[in-house]
Amino acid sequence: MPRARQPELTRAALLAAASTVLREQGASLSLDAVARAAGISKGGLLHHYPTRDALLRALGAALIDDFRQRLTTAHAAELAAHGPARGAWLRAYIALTFTPDEDGQALHAALAPLAGHPALLAGLSEAQAFLLTEPEHDGLPAGTAHAIRLACDGYWMGDLTGLPRLNDTQVHALRETLTAWTR
């Protein structure tokens, strides 16, 4: 009896393996390592993702989707706890920014190698367009909303750029200030 093909499951397994390999090896991940981690032949990987960039682009898109789902859940929790007060979406964004998360770290690692490839980043930029529209619909002045979101983005980008890390007291002060700006 021939084995049933389930390309969606195979792609999901490859993306999960790529995320794991990125966490372990950083941006130097190899297709061989991803195939090995997924228990799939390299030819099988190449059937679904013909290049390393295609795999990283797909991983970036999947992690963006996952982040957006977690953000939607955090926003719903914020609304449930405090009602539809202004700044609720941004408070959820702040909460996710300052909560350590392996998938967030994998997202950063997946996106970093693509920085020098504008064509590859274009699709990921479109997938993240909600980061421009959602803050503006959160009841705060647009400049304040974007300043909060960009401060959050700058906080986690520090890991990618080698900026000095804030100590715990500084992180707490930053989070409290950003949250206060949402009220």
What 8-state DSSP symbol labels residue 116? G
Class of domain 1-50: mainly alpha
Question: And the tokens for 157?
Answer: 């980008």
Going 74 to 75 to 80 to 86, the CA torsion angle's sign is positive
Q: Which pLDDT value is given to residue 113?
A: 64
Q: How many angstroms separate the CA atoms of 29 and 157, rounded?
A: 20
Q: How far is C-alpha 67 from the chain's CA centre?
A: 5
- Average pLDDT in the 144-173 region? 90
pLDDT tens per residue, range 128-138? 899 999 999 99
Q: Which pLDDT value is given to residue 1?
A: 36
pLDDT tens per residue, range 17-73? 988 888 777 767 899 999 999 999 999 999 999 998 888 888 888 888 988 999 999
Question: And the tokens for 40?
Answer: 């799939």
Do 40 and 126 contact (CB within 8 A), yes or no?
no
What 8-state DSSP symbol labels residue 113? G
Q: Which pLDDT value is given to residue 145?
A: 97
Q: Which pLDDT value is given to residue 2?
A: 40
Cα 160 to Cα 7, 62, 157, distances in angstroms: 33, 20, 5
- Average pLDDT in the 86-106 region? 86
Domain ranges for the chain, please list them. 1-50, 64-181
Q: Which pLDDT value is given to residue 107?
A: 61
Q: Which pLDDT value is given to residue 43?
A: 94
- Count other Cβ atoms within 10 Å, centred on residue 43: 8
pLDDT tens per residue, range 112-157? 666 666 766 777 888 889 999 999 999 999 999 999 999 999 998 8
